[in-house]
A = this chain, B = another copy of it.
Protein backbone atom coordinates (compact mmCIF):
# COMPACT_ATOMS: atom_id res chain seq x y z
CA UNK A 1 0.00 0.00 0.00
CA UNK A 2 1.39 3.41 -0.93
CA UNK A 3 1.43 6.39 1.41
CA UNK A 4 -1.20 8.03 -0.75
CA UNK A 5 -3.76 5.40 0.09
CA UNK A 6 -3.13 5.14 3.82
CA UNK A 7 -6.30 5.93 5.75
CA UNK A 8 -5.99 9.33 7.38
CA UNK A 9 -8.14 11.59 9.55
CA UNK A 10 -9.84 14.54 7.89
CA UNK A 11 -11.78 17.32 9.60
CA UNK A 12 -14.16 19.16 7.29
CA UNK A 13 -15.56 22.45 8.58
CA UNK A 14 -18.43 23.78 6.50
CA UNK A 15 -20.40 27.00 6.73
CA UNK A 16 -23.62 27.74 4.85
CA UNK A 17 -27.12 28.31 6.24
CA UNK A 18 -28.90 26.44 3.43
CA UNK A 19 -28.75 22.61 3.55
CA UNK A 20 -29.25 22.39 -0.22
CA UNK A 21 -26.62 25.02 -1.07
CA UNK A 22 -23.68 24.48 -3.38
CA UNK A 23 -21.46 24.60 -0.29
CA UNK A 24 -23.45 21.77 1.29
CA UNK A 25 -23.34 19.75 -1.94
CA UNK A 26 -19.57 20.14 -2.21
CA UNK A 27 -19.17 19.21 1.45
CA UNK A 28 -21.22 16.04 1.00
CA UNK A 29 -19.24 15.19 -2.10
CA UNK A 30 -15.96 15.66 -0.21
CA UNK A 31 -17.09 13.49 2.71
CA UNK A 32 -18.23 10.68 0.40
CA UNK A 33 -15.14 10.91 -1.77
CA UNK A 34 -12.73 10.84 1.18
CA UNK A 35 -14.58 7.96 2.88
CA UNK A 36 -14.61 5.99 -0.36
CA UNK A 37 -10.83 6.41 -0.41
CA UNK A 38 -10.70 4.85 3.06
CA UNK A 39 -10.18 8.01 5.11
CA UNK A 40 -11.93 8.78 8.37
CA UNK A 41 -13.90 12.02 8.18
CA UNK A 42 -15.46 14.18 10.86
CA UNK A 43 -17.62 17.15 9.94
CA UNK A 44 -18.21 20.41 11.80
CA UNK A 45 -21.28 21.81 10.05
CA UNK A 46 -21.26 25.18 11.81
CA UNK A 47 -24.80 26.30 10.93
CA UNK A 48 -26.28 22.88 11.79
CA UNK A 49 -24.36 22.96 15.11
CA UNK A 50 -25.61 26.50 15.78
CA UNK A 51 -21.97 27.38 16.41
CA UNK A 52 -21.64 30.46 18.60
CA UNK A 53 -19.68 32.92 16.45
CA UNK A 54 -18.84 35.60 18.97
CA UNK A 55 -15.80 35.35 21.25
CA UNK A 56 -16.63 36.72 24.70
CA UNK A 57 -16.17 35.97 28.40
CA UNK A 58 -18.46 32.92 28.13
CA UNK A 59 -15.59 31.15 26.36
CA UNK A 60 -13.87 31.00 29.76
CA UNK A 61 -16.23 29.56 32.42
CA UNK A 62 -13.75 30.35 35.22
CA UNK A 63 -13.38 34.01 34.26
CA UNK A 64 -14.87 36.15 37.07
CA UNK A 65 -17.68 38.27 35.64
CA UNK A 66 -16.36 41.44 37.33
CA UNK A 67 -12.80 41.06 36.02
CA UNK A 68 -11.42 42.84 32.99
CA UNK A 69 -11.31 40.44 30.04
CA UNK A 70 -7.80 40.35 28.59
CA UNK A 71 -8.32 37.89 25.79
CA UNK A 72 -4.87 36.34 25.35
CA UNK A 73 -4.48 35.84 29.13
CA UNK A 74 -7.96 34.41 29.51
CA UNK A 75 -7.44 32.07 26.52
CA UNK A 76 -4.02 31.01 27.76
CA UNK A 77 -5.17 30.28 31.30
CA UNK A 78 -8.30 28.42 30.25
CA UNK A 79 -6.42 26.45 27.60
CA UNK A 80 -3.64 25.36 29.96
CA UNK A 81 -6.15 24.47 32.67
CA UNK A 82 -8.41 22.54 30.30
CA UNK A 83 -11.21 24.93 31.22
CA UNK A 84 -12.38 26.28 27.89
CA UNK A 85 -16.07 26.29 26.99
CA UNK A 86 -16.96 22.68 25.97
CA UNK A 87 -17.86 23.64 22.39
CA UNK A 88 -14.35 25.05 21.90
CA UNK A 89 -12.66 22.07 23.55
CA UNK A 90 -14.55 19.72 21.23
CA UNK A 91 -13.28 21.50 18.13
CA UNK A 92 -9.72 21.56 19.45
CA UNK A 93 -9.93 17.81 19.97
CA UNK A 94 -11.04 17.37 16.35
CA UNK A 95 -8.13 19.50 15.14
CA UNK A 96 -5.63 17.45 17.14
CA UNK A 97 -7.22 14.23 15.85
CA UNK A 98 -6.97 15.38 12.23
CA UNK A 99 -4.24 14.84 9.67
CA UNK A 100 -5.86 17.39 7.38
CA UNK A 101 -8.37 20.20 7.76
CA UNK A 102 -10.69 21.41 5.01
CA UNK A 103 -12.63 24.66 5.30
CA UNK A 104 -15.60 24.67 2.93
CA UNK A 105 -17.29 28.05 2.57
CA UNK A 106 -18.77 30.62 0.21
CA UNK A 107 -16.50 33.65 -0.16
CA UNK A 108 -18.51 36.45 1.47
CA UNK A 109 -16.94 39.88 1.19
CA UNK A 110 -13.61 38.37 0.22
CA UNK A 111 -13.33 36.26 3.36
CA UNK A 112 -15.06 33.53 5.35
CA UNK A 113 -18.66 33.92 6.63
CA UNK A 114 -18.82 35.33 10.16
CA UNK A 115 -19.77 31.96 11.65
CA UNK A 116 -16.54 30.46 10.31
CA UNK A 117 -14.50 33.48 11.42
CA UNK A 118 -16.00 32.85 14.84
CA UNK A 119 -14.85 29.23 14.70
CA UNK A 120 -11.34 30.51 14.01
CA UNK A 121 -11.45 33.29 16.63
CA UNK A 122 -12.76 31.00 19.38
CA UNK A 123 -11.01 27.67 18.64
CA UNK A 124 -7.48 28.82 17.76
CA UNK A 125 -6.80 29.96 21.32
CA UNK A 126 -3.60 31.31 22.80
CA UNK A 127 -1.55 28.39 24.14
CA UNK A 128 -3.39 26.00 21.81
CA UNK A 129 -2.69 27.47 18.36
CA UNK A 130 0.17 29.80 19.30
CA UNK A 131 1.95 30.98 22.42
CA UNK A 132 4.93 30.03 24.57
CA UNK A 133 3.63 26.53 25.42
CA UNK A 134 3.49 25.38 21.80
CA UNK A 135 6.08 25.23 18.99
CA UNK A 136 6.81 28.62 17.39
CA UNK A 137 4.79 29.95 14.45
CA UNK A 138 5.40 29.77 10.72
CA UNK A 139 6.49 26.19 10.14
CA UNK A 140 6.79 24.13 13.32
CA UNK A 141 3.63 25.62 14.76
CA UNK A 142 1.18 24.11 17.20
CA UNK A 143 -0.59 22.05 14.54
CA UNK A 144 2.41 20.98 12.47
CA UNK A 145 2.25 17.71 10.56
CA UNK A 146 -1.23 18.48 9.26
CA UNK A 147 -2.41 19.74 5.93
CA UNK A 148 -5.01 22.39 5.22
CA UNK A 149 -7.23 23.10 2.23
CA UNK A 150 -9.52 26.04 1.58
CA UNK A 151 -12.46 24.99 -0.60
CA UNK A 152 -14.47 28.01 -1.58
CA UNK A 153 -17.09 29.25 -4.01
CA UNK A 154 -17.26 32.74 -5.51
CA UNK A 155 -19.98 34.61 -7.34
CA UNK A 156 -17.52 36.29 -9.68
CA UNK A 157 -15.75 34.47 -12.48
CA UNK A 158 -12.20 33.21 -12.31
CA UNK A 159 -10.63 36.05 -14.35
CA UNK A 160 -11.68 38.60 -11.68
CA UNK A 161 -9.57 36.60 -9.19
CA UNK A 162 -6.66 35.99 -11.57
CA UNK A 163 -3.22 37.59 -11.31
CA UNK A 164 -4.56 40.71 -13.07
CA UNK A 165 -8.15 40.50 -11.87
CA UNK A 166 -9.93 43.45 -10.26
CA UNK A 167 -10.84 41.49 -7.12
CA UNK A 168 -7.19 40.69 -6.48
CA UNK A 169 -5.41 37.40 -7.09
CA UNK A 170 -7.18 34.66 -5.14
CA UNK A 171 -3.90 33.75 -3.40
CA UNK A 172 -3.62 37.33 -2.14
CA UNK A 173 -7.26 37.59 -1.07
CA UNK A 174 -6.90 34.34 0.89
CA UNK A 175 -3.46 35.20 2.33
CA UNK A 176 -4.86 36.01 5.80
CA UNK A 177 -6.15 32.41 5.95
CA UNK A 178 -3.45 30.56 4.05
CA UNK A 179 -0.44 32.22 5.65
CA UNK A 180 -1.88 34.03 8.68
CA UNK A 181 -4.02 31.19 10.03
CA UNK A 182 -2.76 27.92 8.53
CA UNK A 183 0.96 28.49 8.09
CA UNK A 184 1.24 30.51 11.30
CA UNK A 185 -0.12 27.56 13.29
CA UNK A 186 1.94 24.97 11.42
CA UNK A 187 -0.74 23.66 9.07
CA UNK A 188 0.71 23.08 5.59
CA UNK A 189 -1.62 24.94 3.18
CA UNK A 190 -2.38 23.52 -0.26
CA UNK A 191 -3.41 25.59 -3.26
CA UNK A 192 -7.00 26.68 -2.60
CA UNK A 193 -9.79 24.92 -4.47
CA UNK A 194 -12.27 27.44 -5.84
CA UNK A 195 -15.48 27.16 -7.83
CA UNK A 196 -16.06 30.47 -9.59
CA UNK A 197 -19.29 31.75 -11.10
CA UNK A 198 -21.14 29.92 -8.34
CA UNK A 199 -24.33 31.99 -8.61
CA UNK A 200 -25.67 30.24 -11.68
CA UNK A 201 -23.62 27.09 -11.99
CA UNK A 202 -24.82 24.85 -14.80
CA UNK A 203 -25.16 21.11 -14.22
CA UNK A 204 -22.20 20.66 -16.52
CA UNK A 205 -20.05 23.14 -14.58
CA UNK A 206 -21.09 21.52 -11.30
CA UNK A 207 -20.04 18.11 -12.59
CA UNK A 208 -16.70 19.56 -13.72
CA UNK A 209 -16.20 21.22 -10.35
CA UNK A 210 -16.87 17.96 -8.53
CA UNK A 211 -14.43 16.13 -10.75
CA UNK A 212 -11.73 18.72 -10.09
CA UNK A 213 -12.52 18.67 -6.35
CA UNK A 214 -12.13 14.89 -6.41
CA UNK A 215 -8.65 15.25 -7.89
CA UNK A 216 -7.72 17.78 -5.23
CA UNK A 217 -9.03 15.49 -2.48
CA UNK A 218 -7.02 12.60 -3.97
CA UNK A 219 -3.94 14.81 -3.60
CA UNK A 220 -4.75 15.98 -0.07
CA UNK A 221 -1.81 14.07 1.42
CA UNK A 222 0.49 14.05 -1.60
CA UNK A 223 0.23 17.42 -3.35
CA UNK A 224 3.06 19.83 -2.62
CA UNK A 225 2.01 22.46 -0.04
CA UNK A 226 2.62 26.12 -0.77
CA UNK A 227 6.34 26.70 -0.15
CA UNK A 228 6.11 29.54 2.37
CA UNK A 229 9.35 30.56 4.04
CA UNK A 230 9.97 29.52 7.63
CA UNK A 231 10.35 32.24 10.23
CA UNK A 232 13.42 30.68 11.81
CA UNK A 233 14.95 29.41 8.57
CA UNK A 234 17.37 32.31 8.21
CA UNK A 235 15.28 34.48 5.87
CA UNK A 236 13.86 36.94 8.43
CA UNK A 237 15.44 39.19 11.04
CA UNK A 238 14.31 39.43 14.68
CA UNK A 239 11.71 42.04 13.84
CA UNK A 240 10.21 39.53 11.36
CA UNK A 241 11.37 41.38 8.26
CA UNK A 242 12.95 39.60 5.30
CA UNK A 243 16.71 40.04 5.46
CA UNK A 244 18.43 42.16 2.81
CA UNK A 245 19.38 40.07 -0.19
CA UNK A 246 16.60 37.48 0.29
CA UNK A 247 14.44 39.28 -2.24
CA UNK A 248 15.39 42.41 -4.17
CA UNK A 249 14.44 45.53 -2.20
CA UNK A 250 11.29 47.01 -3.65
CA UNK A 251 9.87 43.68 -4.82
CA UNK A 252 6.13 43.96 -4.41
CA UNK A 253 3.57 41.38 -3.50
CA UNK A 254 3.00 38.62 -1.00
CA UNK A 255 4.99 36.14 -3.09
CA UNK A 256 8.15 37.40 -1.43
CA UNK A 257 7.20 35.02 1.39
CA UNK A 258 7.55 31.97 -0.89
CA UNK A 259 10.80 30.01 -0.78
CA UNK A 260 11.01 29.58 -4.54
CA UNK A 261 9.19 31.05 -7.47
- Which residues of A pack against B, CB within 8 Å? 17-18, 20-21, 47, 53-57, 68-72, 108-115, 117-118, 120-122, 124, 138, 155-157, 159-160, 162-169, 172-173, 175-177, 179-181, 199, 229, 231, 236, 239-242, 247, 251-257
Query: Are the C-beta atoms of B20 and A68 separated by less than 8 Å?
Result: yes
Contacts of A68 in B (CB 8 A): 18, 20
Complex: A181 Cα to B109 Cα, angstroms:
6
Q: Which of A69, A114, A117, A172 has the most CB of B within 10 A?
A: A114
Contacts of A173 in B (CB 8 A): 175-176, 180
Beyond known contacts A17-B71, A253-B254: 17 more, CB 8 A cutoff:
A17-B56, A53-B114, A54-B115, A55-B108, A72-B155, A111-B117, A115-B118, A117-B117, A156-B240, A160-B239, A164-B242, A165-B240, A166-B236, A168-B179, A173-B176, A173-B180, A252-B252
Contacts of A138 in B (CB 8 A): 166
- Can you list 23 pairs linking A and B with CB atoms under 8 Å apart? A17-B55, A18-B69, A47-B54, A53-B114, A54-B113, A54-B115, A54-B118, A109-B124, A110-B176, A110-B177, A110-B181, A111-B117, A114-B114, A114-B118, A138-B166, A156-B240, A157-B239, A159-B239, A162-B241, A164-B247, A165-B239, A168-B257, A173-B180
